[in-house]
Structure 1
Amino acid sequence: MTTLRSTVDSRGAEFAANREAMLAKLAELEAEQAKAVAGGGEKYVERHRKRGKLLARERVELLLDEDSAFLELSPLAAWGSDYQVGASLVTGIGVVEGVECMICASDPTVKGGASNPWTAKKSYRAADIAAQNRLPTINLVESGGADLPTQKEIFIPGGRIFRDLTRSSAAGVPTVALVFGNSTAGGAYLPGMSDHVVMVKERAKVFLGGPPLVKMATGEESDDESLGGAEMHARTSGLADYLAEDEQDAIRIGRRIVRRLNWHKQGPAPKPDYAEPLHDPEDLLGIVPADLKVPFDPREVIARVVDGSDFDEFKPLYGSSLVTGWAQVHGYPVGILANARGVLFSEESQKAAQFIQLANQTDTPLLFLHNTTGYMVGKEYEQGGIIKHGAMMINAVSNSRVPHISVLIGASYGAGHYGMCGRAYDPRFLFAWPSAKSAVMGPAQLAGVLSIVARQAAASRGQEYNEEHDAAMRAMVEGQIEAESLPMFLSGMLYDDGIIDPRDTRTVLGLSLSAIHNGPISGAGGFGVFRM
């Protein structure tokens, strides 16, 4: 039998404590996400509404098919920075006329929708996801262009946004721009480089330089409408393919454009007769301990995520700190690698490398569930070849060509983060639970290493070591690393695609796998040299 049984005691004190800790983290997360939803604040939201305009998320909601899901991406971008949480941009994957699309909506309540450095980074990530997963892109445009005080951080790399649009078109993946308001300077190239352009009458303004700049540059007197109004672009310049009466009409036309794309997925369809997990996903709140040093069985997570709680484990008796096996999620086949007891030894590394190769042979996407403190250290393990075997696992991950999805459910430290397909290894999607932490090593370990090095340096100089200063240094370093390893900090840096409620994991994975299958699924033709 391959159906997973559960030993979770949902009435026990330990489970209750874990659940309360997770709910507290979710409440904190909800408060931070509310800042992104609030946009520029009540004053600017009200000003926007008085102009008869819809908010960014209202535009997205009208664009989507009724009752369909929207997988919002990077909602906490710019968290912890001087910029508005969310980076004045809404990005995500939604279904429009039955077609999964990447949707990017500028938020005009935040500095008129101007792009700051975090807006640009969020745009790049959305473009990468669209390109990797063959998703048509719909831009809902109302932006004053670059935030001029930060132009030095935007201008040079910012050209990527327009490059990505043209590359998408060249790859046969459509791009659509619905222009609701200003789209000036560099922002004019969003519609300028899109395959399909809709502009709202008397609202859309698209020009490389507005009247003040034209006056300064050429001495010419002009007005918004003759210089870049929607009617001018529809009747004279030809930049607008469709002239919409209002915002709702623009969205209706946008949906009609998508309906005519004749879009087809290239990946295999999911099996239609899949079953829901046998175990309650509500239990996911209490499975991960508040103290990540306490181990937990990842099979309990798998049992609440995969179809029918059916998991065919691979090499269950070998390298038991890493659980590997085959399953389905919403009818899509997946290979799963999940950390069981944190540390990765040589056996786990070799097991992972073989399993990844097998997944590539059968064109099966891989799901990585992180809870690792990294590869084992020590004389015995170094002599046993842990570097070679860890490199073997990282080699396999690096050269695997099937789609990868990573979910950080616990710790993700050191090179174990790499071996489990961290951000630098280009997983198609990477999400985190509120319980996740990621850094080069744990805070106490890192502070301890610095203390040992400082002690050795003092001894080599023949100096007495100051224990009081050492204690203060360790406390400061531990606090810094703890803060920088928390999921909201990492999400703000765009090191993940969003922090998710554990109970939503199955849904998020299903949406991600469905998006992935817009393109063909095929494994690697070969791997690099495995050091044996």
Structure 2
Amino acid sequence: MTVLRSRLDPDDPAFADNRASMLAKIDEVEAEHAKALAGGGPTYVDRHRARGKLLARERIELLLDPDSPFLELSPLAAWGSDYPVGASVVTGVGVVEGVECVVIANDPTVRGGASNPWTGKKTLRAMEIAEQNRLPLINLVESGGADLPGQKEIFIPGGRLFRDLTRFSAAGIPTLAVVFGNSTAGGAYVPGMSDHVVMVRERSKVFLGGPPLVKMATGEESDDESLGGADMHARVSGLADHLAADEHDAIRIGRGIIARLNHTKPGPAPTAARDPRHDPAELLGIVPDDLRIPFDPREVIARVVDDSDFDEFKPAYGSGLATGWARLHGYPVGVLANAQGVLFSEESQKAAQFIQLANQADTPLIFLHNTTGYMVGRDYEQGGIIKHGAMMINAVSNSTVPHLSVLLGASYGAGHYGMCGRAYDPRFLFAWPSAKAAVMGPRQLAGVLSIVARQSAAAKGRDYTEEQDAAMREMVENQIEAESLPLFLSGRVYDDGVIDPRDTRTVLGLCLSAVHNAPVRGVRGGFGVFRM
């Protein structure tokens, strides 16, 4: 039998402490999510509604199939910056007429939907997901273009958005723009470079330069409608393919366009899924508040995969990394999960072989992070930890099956890379509220800097007091702790969202469904040189 047995005791005081800590972290994340949901705040929301317009999420809800899920991406983008949480845009994966699509919707209640630097990062991440997984891209447009005070950080990277739209079309990935209001300056190129364009009569205004700019540039007097109105673009310029009577009609037309794409998924459909045998609600009590305390990732796996069935690979070798085969919502997957935090040579070699096997079997991989990195020390260096860690990173880097990553606990150092962190292009990456990611733990980093500072002072013949050292350590630990937390990392779009642990199975299932819109094929012999 390969069904996992749980040793978790919900009556254990440690479980109760872990659960309470996790719930407190979830409350903190949800409070920040609420800021994104609020958009520009009551004043601007009321003003928008008074104009007879729908909010961004209302447009998305009408666009998607009834009662179908929406996997929102990067909802905390811009957290901790000078810009509003959410980055004035809503992105995610949803189902339209039975077709999974990436949806990008400007939030016009936040500075008129103008794009700031974090809008660009969030939008480009959503487009990357659409491209990697060959998902049709739908833009719900109402934007005043670039937020001009931040233009120095928008202008150059923003051009990639328009380039990528044309590349989507060349690659056969459909693009659709539904324009609900202003689409000015750079925003005008979104409909201009999309395959299909829907505009709303007397609402849509699409122009490179509005009447004031035209007056300044050419001296010409013009008005919004003749310069960029929907009727003009439908009858004169030809930019609009469809002219809608109102927003609801525009969404109806957009749904019809997606229905006629003749989009089908390649490859076999998932088999019938069975719920885990263990309660997913218990995921709240698994990860300790102190990440230095180890936990068994099999307890997580048992509450995420179908029927809690996990066929472990090499269970007696490299026990600090659990690897094995399972199904999740009917899709076959390979799972790599850190068991004891540190990755030794055995874990690295085991991971490299397992990744090769997954590629031979065209099987997606799920990485569950809780690692402090690769082991250091004289014996381990002499034993080849560098080349063995490089072997694992080589395998991750050149694997071509889809990778999905979830940060459960620590994700430090090169271990973050070996477990397919953001820099290694997982198709999706999410974090639990308990997760932390950095070069190393705060205490370790402060300790390293302390040693370096003492040696530097000694070499220069300067005094270095314990008071100086304690102050430096405290400052560094506080800084690294703050910069390694999920809200900070998610705010910088280093993940695709911070999720409630209880939603892990659902989120991964939605991701697996999305990645199967593109062919799932492993690399055959293309891993390069493994240093043995």
Task: State TM-score, norm by structure 1.
Answer: 0.99
Question: Structure 2: how far apart are the matches of 1:156 and 1:381?
Answer: 45
Aligned to 1:531: 531
Q: Which segments of structure 1 move beyond 3 Å, counting only runs of 4 or more?
A: none
Aligned to 1:435: 434
Question: Structure 2: how far apart are the matches of 1:494 and 1:157?
Answer: 15
Aligned to 2:287: 288
Question: Structure 1: which amino acid aligns with 2:395?
Answer: A
Question: Structure 2: how far apart are the matches of 1:459 and 1:150?
Answer: 45
Per-residue CA distance 1:305-337 (angstroms, 9 max, x = gap): 000000000000000000000000000010000
Question: Structure 2: how far apart are the matches of 1:274 and 1:149?
Answer: 51
Question: Structure 1: how far apart are the matches of 2:438 and 2:66?
Answer: 41
Residue 299 of structure 2 aligns to a residue in which SS?
helix
Aligned to 1:15: 15
Question: Structure 2: how far apart are the matches of 1:15 and 1:344?
Answer: 26
Unpaired runs of 5+ in structure 2? none
| Mapping for residues 301-340 of structure 1, pairs under 5 Å | 301-340=300-339
Aligned to 2:236: 236
Aligned to 1:24: 24
| Mapping for residues 107-122 of structure 1, pairs under 5 Å | 107-122=107-122
Aligned to 2:370: 371
What is the total number of aligned residue pairs between the two structures?
531
Question: Structure 1: how far apart are the matches of 2:84 and 2:430?
Answer: 21
| Mapping for residues 32-431 of structure 1, pairs under 5 Å | 32-271=32-271, 273-431=272-430
Structure 1 position 462, deviation (Å): 2.5
Structure 1 position 164, deviation (Å): 1.1
Per-residue CA distance 1:4-50 (angstroms, 9 max, x = gap): 00011011111011000000000000000000010111111111010
Structure 1 position 463, deviation (Å): 2.6
Residue 2 of structure 1 aligns to a residue in which SS?
coil
Structure 1 position 274, deviation (Å): 2.2
Per-residue CA distance 1:50-100 (angstroms, 9 max, x = gap): 000000000000100000000000000000000010000000000000000
Question: Structure 1: which amino acid aligns with 2:462?
Answer: Q
Question: Structure 1: how far apart are the matches of 2:228 and 2:219?
Answer: 17
Structure 1 position 389, deviation (Å): 0.3
Question: Structure 1: how far apart are the matches of 2:472 and 2:10?
Answer: 41
Q: Give the aligned CA root-mean-square deviation in angstroms.
A: 0.6
Residue 359 of structure 1 aligns to a residue in which SS?
helix
Question: Structure 1: which amino acid aligns with 2:326?
Answer: A
Question: Structure 2: how far apart are the matches of 1:157 and 1:373?
Answer: 33
Question: Structure 2: which amino acid aligns with 1:26?
Answer: I
Question: Structure 1: how far apart are the matches of 2:157 and 2:257?
Answer: 30
Question: Structure 1: which amino acid aligns with 2:80?
Answer: G
Question: Structure 2: how far apart are the matches of 1:260 and 1:427?
Answer: 30
Per-residue CA distance 1:249-307 (angstroms, 9 max, x = gap): 10011111111111111233111x22110000000000111111110000000000000
Structure 1 position 348, deviation (Å): 0.3
Question: Structure 1: how far apart are the matches of 2:2 and 2:102?
Answer: 37
Structure 1 position 457, deviation (Å): 1.1
Question: Structure 2: how far apart are the matches of 1:315 and 1:367?
Answer: 17
Structure 1 position 464, deviation (Å): 2.5
Residue 372 of structure 2 aligns to a residue in which SS?
strand
Per-residue CA distance 1:339-368 (angstroms, 9 max, x = gap): 000000000000000000000001000000
Say which is worse superposed, 423-432 or 162-171, in terms of deviation.
162-171
Aligned to 1:493: 492
Residue 451 of structure 1 aligns to a residue in which SS?
helix
Question: Structure 1: which amino acid aligns with 2:133?
Answer: N
Question: Structure 2: how far apart are the matches of 1:443 and 1:305?
Answer: 30
1:6 aligns with 2:6: yes
Question: Structure 2: how far apart are the matches of 1:406 and 1:374?
Answer: 16
| Mapping for residues 461-500 of structure 1, pairs under 5 Å | 461-500=460-499
Question: Structure 1: how far apart are the matches of 2:308 and 2:267?
Answer: 24
Question: Structure 1: how far apart are the matches of 2:267 and 2:364?
Answer: 11
Structure 1 position 156, deviation (Å): 1.3
Question: Structure 1: how far apart are the matches of 2:351 and 2:384?
Answer: 16
Aligned to 2:521: 522
Structure 1 position 485, deviation (Å): 0.2
Question: Structure 2: which amino acid aligns with 1:409?
Answer: L
Structure 1 position 112, deviation (Å): 0.3
Structure 1 position 467, deviation (Å): 1.1
Question: Structure 1: how far apart are the matches of 2:270 and 2:527?
Answer: 28
Residue 81 of structure 2 aligns to a residue in which SS?
coil
Question: Structure 2: which amino acid aligns with 1:287?
Answer: I
Question: Structure 2: how far apart are the matches of 1:114 and 1:462?
Answer: 55
Task: State TM-score, norm by structure 2.
Answer: 0.99
Residue 435 of structure 1 aligns to a residue in which SS?
coil
